[in-house]
Amino acid sequence: MRVRRGWAGPGGKRLTSCRCPRGMPAPTDVPPFKEFSPSMRVDLLISDWKAAIEPELPDEERERKLYEQAWEAYREGDYGFGLWCWHECDRLTNNLNGNIREVTRILGPGHYFGFSHRRVVAEAVPVERIYRPRKGDMSTPRPDAFVLPHYQVLCVYLMRASTGDPRAKATLEIALGELEDQRRADPFLKHFEMFRDLLARTSASAAAPGPTTVAATPTLAATEDPPRRRAPARRRS
């Protein structure tokens, strides 16, 4: 199912476009960025797609069909649906006690939202549009806002901090100071920690210089033919 581009919010304002920041080159399996639908649009379409699926189907089949529609929208370049696929993978992983093989079976082969996708999508999220209400704030998010679970917000700030953004780094350090107290209450935080570990590994491997091989200086013995032995002189009789 194709997603119509140019969805307009209140007042006819387009809400789908944003700049995709420059950073690490996207892996070949990650779709090129075209737009970034805000959470309101994603949730509305997901709700419509879910209502249109035959209710008599088994639960796993219904989950697969819904995920496939969101996956197709992401593959067309809408990273807003990438955020939804990302969270859906982690939700199923938690429900299945970390069994990635079962998650892949339910979602279909090749549809798991792995680290290469997460890294690129997290880097593209417009930080200024993330909805982060303060305690006691009862305001509703703007139509163009991104309403993300806490662990995804941490991944976004981690990506920005890795590019040298001082503001993102300071915000991340404050959030990480509360991580230990939140770990037991939030089962999704382990997915942030895995994301952080994988990012550290890939960054280290990218920064490490390749092995240098010093060409051995050829020796005289290796470049010249070995001297021939002289035949012993015959004795005169």
Q: How far from chain centre, in Å, is Cα 42?
A: 18
Is residue 156, in this structure, part of any structural domain at all?
yes
C-alpha–C-alpha distance, residues 85 and 107, integer Å: 10
Confidence of residue 225 (pLDDT cuts 50, 70, 90): very low
Is-above-0.85 flag for pTM?
Answer: no
Distance CA 157, CA 170 (A): 9
Domain extent, residue 119, equals: 30-132+140-204
Q: Which of 17, 73, 13, 19 is CA-nearest to residue 42?
A: 73
Structural domains counted in the chain: 1
User: Is residue 223 scored above 80 in pLDDT?
Assistant: no
pLDDT at residue 106 is higher than 50: yes
pLDDT score of 56 more than 70: yes
Residue 19 in any domain: the answer is no
Q: Is residue 228 part of a domain?
A: no
CA–CA distance, 146 with 132 (Å, rounded to integer): 9
- Domain presence at residue 218: no
Backbone angles phi, psi at 188, to 5 degrees: -85, -15
| Residue 15, pLDDT above cutoff 70 | no
Task: Tell me whether residue 192 is in a domain.
Answer: yes
pLDDT for the residue numbered 234:
52
Residue 224, in any domain of the structure: no
Q: Is residue 212 part of a domain?
A: no
Indicate if the pLDDT at residue 46 is higher than 70: yes
Q: Is residue 211 part of a domain?
A: no
pLDDT, tens only, 122-132? 999 999 999 98
Question: Phi and psi at residue 8, in whole multiples of 5°?
Answer: -110, 140
